[in-house]
Amino acid sequence: MSDLPQVIQYIPLNKLVASPRNVRRRHPKADIESLAASIHSRGLLQNLCVVPGEKDCFEVEAGGRRRLALKLLAKQGKIAKDWPVPCQVVAREDGIEVSLTENVHRVAMDAMDEVDAYAALVAEGKTPDEVGRRFGVERRHVDQRLALAGLSPRIKAAWKRGDVSLDAARAFCLVDDHAQQDAVFRSLGKPVTHGPSVRARLMDGRMRTTDRLAVFVGLETYEAAGGKVLRDLFDPEAVFIEAPALLTKLAEDKLAASRDTWLAQGWSWVDLNLGAGRGDGLSSTRLHPEWRDPTAEEQAELDRISGEIEALDAELDANGVEDDPRWTERDDLEAAFETIRQAGRCWTGDVMALSGVMLSIDHDGEVSVSEGLVRTDDQKRVDAYFKQRRAGNGAESEDDGIEDGPAGHVSALPKAVNRDLTLARTRAIRVGLLGELDVALALCVAALAARSVHRAEFTGVAISAQARTVDDLPDLEDARALMEGQIPSEDDALLGWALDLSRERLLAVLAVLVAGSVDLSHEDTSPVDLRKQAIADSLARHLDIDMTRYWTAGPDFWTRLPKSALMSALSDAPSMPERSARAREDAIKAHAKLRKDELAAKVSALLEGSHYLPDILVTPVAIGGLAVPPQGAAAIALPAVAAE
């Protein structure tokens, strides 16, 4: 740099202009506003660096943000337009070097240093608002830094030495109790870097406001009833219900308000079910409404809509454009057709007197209605009624409106758990289809036949073809990315590309497309869910999928299960058969007395490494797929030896 002396001058603000040589060109508006607030609160703590310019002006080589902040203060009337600015005047040839040096060597304040600075000011008696004005930041930013300052000494020390990331430290701020913070810290592997895992441990047992019951009740209603919420300062989406019992009571009251409406229609009973599964005391039988013939007006409208759909199909087939906006028009026509058709469903008084309605809340927080359910105690009355109807009609095997579900099928696991488990299986099936081209081809033909012949979507498979969004395993993501990078965008080029592919390559691309259309995740509660499970079982069997390669029962899984499911898994633990009958019975009784979280930890430890799979993930064995080897036959032939 030049050896010329550097002079400090007070130069009027309106004589300072931006230098064309300044290496930093962009200054975010919010950044300038924050700096202006800081300068107004504390004054200008650092001189500007300028070089002489034209017409008595000076070009700012270092301090462009400060100049803009001062101009903003002048615009706001907080300082004069000619406010004297302390500047260090340097030679023009040194200007760009000064600008580059200041910007390259600038180091932002470390988060922990900022936390300590804010905490020290508050300890001196400053309010958070005063701290915010002094540093030119929002009150929320100050509150976040003060929350980090309030962490337990153990976690702050771990943060400083790098054993806790900033993301994880923010998550620990969700609670003020240092003992709870330290307990969760000790339970986690080191280093602690994953904020969501910390929040999950701290909030164990609490309900998020995105839970279906919270959405159904509404946060305002819950808070108006005296319920409190816990909000995460760092994550606006992380809001937790402090009183789940109150929320459940509010949900029951709101749902019960519609009970009388259903009873007035003639139903024998109306129950509320806020939990998971089918509910207690229900038979596997379900009754269905009868269908009346459409009225003359309805039939005329159905015929009109059918004619429009057929005409549209002909035009769309001739056009062949996948994103033709008339596909939306066709979907609207199909919806209108189905609305009129569904109006023909009618429940007879006799059937309603024999069955009831279950009101529940679906995962979107909407009321879900299940009609025609039969209680176990009413099964004999239902059988007698339809036996009498068949006798009166002279028919032995007529469809009399009864749907027989699997005998005694009641899902043992919560719906959310079933959804996650079957999603894991969906991922495995999607990847498995990549290597089994014949199965992918068969699935494609079945889905296209269902769409073409029955005008219906094949359960769990969306081949039209549209992709179902699933957080896939890397194998399928890589294969799809490779395929998408090769597919032309224009229809004529796309067809030419496909025609040039070999049969093997064409089938491989088909397998990727078919795999991406599969979504067989479900909650194991409705007839549609059971059909999805049957299809998933069939595909898993043909794809020879071993779910132990894709899913492991970790602690997070066990803590989500009801106690009954934990006790069932405990009885199937590998160590149980090695014990005597009395020892097994004593162990089960002892475990039954544990709290749910303690029991979950015990079961997790007992089944660790056992390749445990819940029934919903077990691939059925094909008929004839099992054989007893000679060693097994010899073992079976041995006389049983009493364990006691």
CB 638 within 8 A of CB 604: no
Query: For 32-160, where are the E strands, in sequence order?
Result: 48-52, 58-62, 84-89
The β-bridge partners of 241 are 207, 229
Rounded to 10 deg, the angle between the 437-454 and 415-435 helix axes is 120
Q: pLDDT averaged over consecutive 10-residue blocks of the chain (644 residues)?
A: 62 89 59 79 82 88 88 91 89 66 50 74 82 75 83 87 86 86 85 82 76 87 87 79 85 87 89 71 81 82 87 76 74 83 82 88 83 88 82 51 49 77 84 77 62 54 61 79 72 64 77 79 78 86 84 84 80 73 77 81 82 83 50 48 36
DSSP state of 407: T
CB 342 within 8 A of CB 256: no
Tokens at 307, concatenated: 């004619």
Give CA torsion, residues 96, 99, 101, 106, to 10 deg. -160
Closest CA to 366 of 217, 266, 177, 200: 217
Tell me the C-alpha distance between 272 and 370, whole Å: 11
Tell me the C-alpha distance between 438 and 445, whole Å: 11
State yes or no: cis peptide before 465, omega within 30 of 0: yes
Tell me the C-alpha distance between 638 and 644, whole Å: 18
One-letter amino acid of 623: I
pLDDT computed for residue 458 by the predictor: 60
What is the assigned CATH class of domain 7-104? alpha beta
pLDDT computed for residue 397 by the predictor: 42
Q: Residue 357 is inside which H or E element, if any?
A: strand 356-361
Closest CA to 38 of 112, 102, 109, 96: 109
Tell me the C-alpha distance between 94 and 458, whole Å: 74
pLDDT computed for residue 13 by the predictor: 93
Greatest alpha-carbon pair distance for the chain in Å reads 117
- What is the phi/psi pair of residue 192, to 5°? -95, 110
Tell me the C-alpha distance between 11 and 57, whole Å: 9
Domain boundaries, the chain: 7-104, 207-251, 259-404, 415-549
pLDDT computed for residue 437 by the predictor: 73
pLDDT computed for residue 644 by the predictor: 34
| First vs last C-alpha separation in the chain | 94
- What is the phi/psi pair of residue 35, to 5°? -65, -40
Sheet holding 282-287, edge to edge: 269-273, 356-361, 367-375, 282-287, 402-404
